[in-house]
Amino acid sequence: MLSINTDNLIITKPLGLFALTATVGFTILNGIVISILTYLELRALMDHLETLRTFCTVVEMQSFTHAANALGISKAVVSRAITGLETRLGVRLFQRTTRHLALTESGEEFYGGCSRVVAELDVLEAGTGERARAPAGVLRLVAHTTAALIELPPLIAGFRARYPAVQLELTLAERPVDLIKEAFDLGIVLPFMLTSELTITRALCRLPLAVVGSPSYLQGRQLPQRPIDLAAFRFVTILASISEPQLRFRRGGEQIAVPLEHDVSSNNAALNKELVMSGAGLGALPLTMVGKELNDGRLVQLLPDFELMSGDAELRLAYRDRGLTTAKVRAFIDYATSYFDARAAQMGHVQQQQTVAGGSGRPS
């Protein structure tokens, strides 16, 4: 709205009326010009921000084609954006070959700052838009198979009860996973599964392992008294561990590494458990996975007085560097973190009660 202060304005001649008309016309025209310039400046700024977003997506996807698909634009548009950005900066950001795309030193430095700018913009947009809405939509989650079987059912049930508008699409894997290239929102994974440095991780819990065997396999064999005695046994191993086929034990200040001899290996801990129970060999399996079988005698734990260092695997929550931009992702991160924190506190309380109960008995 245009307002003119006429408190001190006196028009005494037609010339004065003409001057007033000209002044008003000039003011309106000037306002239009300023508005146009402001619009063009804002449009240029928005275009530049989209170029920065395109650059970050190319880096994260390591491909012009994958970036174009993720952004919903053509590969040619992506290529022009990167070329224009390189021209504007006066440096080459990528080393390109027909089969390989890598950041130059200048590109790495620029990405460090650029990714922060884009991340802050995403958070700002989320704060004015989706942050105000309830979490909803499809949440794509990849999880380690063993962790999914042991840890996820109560977690997912509780999350769905709290956020019924979120649909969970769950994929199980026991292999390296690239959250960005495979378009997962989140991962509940073991460290060996992470392949991209562009992900953020949070520790959820640890999965202590135990060396176990079936009574049928151990029958007629001398039970190991020390870790080194395991060298006489065959193991059923996880494929991911074959690159380092050994177990590391600790008791007091003593540390011992024991090479693993294996005839059978798989990429699935649940299958390995069944193989161990059938007598195919010993296995290093999560205690939470074999607790029932240890209690009823279908499996026997070996060397319980030794700490299995290489078996204390850490379960981690992983998400993309800019993954905090949606309400559904933030909701799952917060819920999962709180869930595992509460469970750890409860387990610590139970262990403390057991320790007190065990130490309060009268000597016989």
The amino acid at residue 206 is R
CATH topology of domain 209-311: D-Maltodextrin-Binding Protein; domain 2 (3.40.190)
Pairing of strands 261-266, 234-238: parallel
The answer to whether 135-194+317-347 and 209-311 have equal CATH topology is yes
pTM above 0.75, yes or no: no
Tens of pLDDT, residue by residue over 32-47, are 545 555 655 556 667 7
Query: Which of helix, strand or coil describes residue 233?
Result: coil
Find where tokens 């403390």 sit. Answer: 352
Looking at domain 135-194+317-347, its CATH class is: alpha beta
If you average pLDDT over residues 281-306, what whole number do you get? 91
Phi first, then psi: give them for residue 43, nearest 5 degrees: -65, -40
Angle, helices 64-71/14-61, rounded to nearest 10 degrees: 130
Tens of pLDDT, residue by residue over 6-39, are 444 444 445 444 454 545 455 555 555 455 556 5
Enumerate residues 6+ apart whose C-beta is below 8 A from 164: none
pLDDT at 142: 94
pLDDT at 11: 44
If you average pLDDT over residues 306-324, what whole number do you get? 74
Enumerate residues 6+ apart whose C-beta is below 8 A from 114: 52, 55, 56
Burial of 3 (0-12, 13-18, 19+ CB in 10 A): exposed
pLDDT at 151: 80
Taking the C-alpha atoms of residue 270 and residue 282, their distance in angstroms, rounded to an integer, is 14
Query: Which of helix, strand or coil describes residue 134?
Result: coil
Kind plus residue range of the DSSP H or E element containing 44: helix 14-61
Higher pLDDT, 117 or 355: 117
Domain boundaries, the chain: 14-128, 135-194+317-347, 209-311
Length of the chain: 364
pLDDT at 6: 44
Question: Would you give the DSSP letter of residue 322?
Answer: T
Q: Is the pLDDT of residue 320 over 90?
A: no
pLDDT at 333: 92
- Residue 30 has a CB neighbour count (10 Å cut-off) of 10
Q: Is the pLDDT of residue 211 over 90?
A: yes
Question: Using an 8 Å Cβ cutoff, are 332 and 187 in contact?
Answer: no
pLDDT at 356: 46
pLDDT at 354: 42
Tell me which CATH code domain 14-128 carries.
Answer: 1.10.10.10
